[in-house]
Chain A
């Protein structure tokens, strides 16, 4: 077969037209996927907002009852109404987590950086989790950090990251276990802070090190799994650390525990 048989100009034009048509089709598919993704994001955002409103009313009514504003409750009634308040609050927290995820996934989140003490934030998060950890007789210790310089980051977002990591550690560590937070300076001139949140919990298999950071992923996703949640906590933590140009990862051993690490910039050293 000669060259002119296979590649005459008419055949070339035809192939070119076919390629262009394919390219156009691919572009249309991408556009459609993008617009569907935007719709999904908008839907999640709206539904999160709309779920919050009736839930806020339920919690307020239950709190009015619990506070005895409509008459004293006996201890059993008080316990039952407290259950409504706590359950409602847990639902609000989950909805907020979805909302935070939706915002961070669609790049609607920006950083408000200030100088602050990270150990103070860690201590606040420990305090917030005191009741939960006491129930399982867990100890949460901050092992060092008193001499650290301030970090330069978004305080609320790092608090969120620490809250998610410590919350997870509480969830996956058995009664009487240990959770710790530890710091190390690294990088050129020690300008980066490495934060470690460790636990003596059930651990994560090496195959799942990446999976746990994926949205909606839970290592055990069966309906009978012992731990429920949105499956967004670590995905959000990763997004918020990424925004700070940091890194987040896990090292773990099944049955022994996990250590989550993330890095965050420290202020440039001053003269």
Chain B
């Protein structure tokens, strides 16, 4: 069965682009725009990897990861996506349990390679 990816991102434009990308790369794709949505999807579906935008309308992406971990529903790997390479933000994400932090826009080859590696 194809691995599943949850895109947590409040910009529909970015979500559309990732949906095409991961769909074409053979993954099952889910998406959510808010902390509440993402937590619900994470509880209901079996998610292998979560791509997490940090600033969401109702909180931060790390809130989603926290809620899912608390319920024992955390994905196998979570990658945080930030707009700016800030060492403090990076550390905060790693401390919260993210496997990696990538600066948007990530070149798609790098992104696909990293996801493949994390799901291996």
- Chain A contact residues, CB within 8 Å of chain B: 49, 52-57, 59-61, 63-64, 67, 69-70, 88, 92, 96, 99, 112, 156
Find A67's partner among B14, B105, B108 (CB 8 Å cutoff). Answer: B108
Q: Are A53 and B14 in contact (CB under 8 A)?
A: yes
Q: Is the Cβ of A156 less than 8 Å from the Cβ of B11?
A: no
Q: Collect the chain B residues with CB atoms within 8 Å of residue A63's CB.
A: 107-109
CB <8 Å contact, A60 and B18: yes
Q: Give CA–CA (A88, B108) in the complex, Å.
A: 14
Shortest CB distance A108–B (Å): 10
- 16 CB < 8 A contacts A-B: A53-B11, A53-B104, A54-B11, A54-B13, A56-B17, A56-B104, A57-B13, A60-B14, A60-B17, A60-B18, A60-B21, A63-B108, A64-B24, A67-B108, A69-B25, A156-B87
**Per-residue A-contact encoding for B74-95, CB less than 8 Å = 1, 0 else:** 0000000001110100000000
Pairwise interchain contact A55-B105, C-beta atoms closer than 8 A: yes
Shortest C-beta distance, A62 to chain B (Å), equals 9
Which of A57, A69, A88, A112 lies in contact with B14, CB distance below 8 A?
A57
Residue of B nearest to A61 (CB): B17
Chain A: CB-nearest residue to B107? A63
Q: Interface readout for B13-40 with A: 1 if CB under 8 Å, 0 if not?
A: 1101110110011000000000000000
What is the bound-complex CA distance between A112 and B89, given in angstroms? 13
Instruction: State the CA gap A69–B24 with chains docked (Å).
Output: 7
What secondary structure prevails in chain A residues at the interface with B? Answer: helix
**A52 B83 Cβ-Cβ under 8 A:** yes
A64-B84 in contact (CB<8A) = no
B residues 37-88 in Cβ contact with A at 8 Å: 83-85, 87
- When C-beta atoms are compared, the residue in chain A nearest to B109 turns out to be A67
Q: Which residues of B contact A56 (CB under 8 A)?
A: 14, 17, 104-105
- In the complex, chain B residues whose CB is within 8 Å of the CB of A61: 17, 20
Q: In the complex, which of the residues A54, A57, A88 has the most CB atoms of chain B within 10 Å of its own CB atom?
A: A57
CB contact under 8 A between A53 and B13, given known A63-B107, A63-B108, A156-B85: yes
Q: Is the CB of B17 within 8 A of A64?
A: yes
Q: Which of A55, A60, A63, A96 has the most CB of B within 10 A?
A: A60
Residues of B within 8 A of A69 (CB): 20-21, 24-25
Q: Which residues of B contact A96 (CB under 8 A)?
A: 84
**Chain B hits for A92, CB < 8 A:** 105
A59 surroundings in chain B (CB, below 8 A): 105
Residues of chain B contacted by A70 (CB below 8 angstroms) = 20, 24
Residue pair A52, B104 in contact (C-beta under 8 Å): yes
Complex: A195 Cα to B94 Cα, angstroms: 35
Residue numbers in A under 8 Å from B24 (CB-CB)? 64, 69-70
User: Measured between C-beta atoms, what is the minimum distance from A66 to chain B in Å?
Assistant: 9
In the assembly, what is the distance between CA of A136 and CA of B3, in Å?
46
Residue numbers in A under 8 Å from B107 (CB-CB): 63
Instruction: Write the nearest CB–CB distance from A105 to chain B, whole angstroms.
Output: 15
Closest beta carbon of chain B to A46's beta carbon, Å: 11
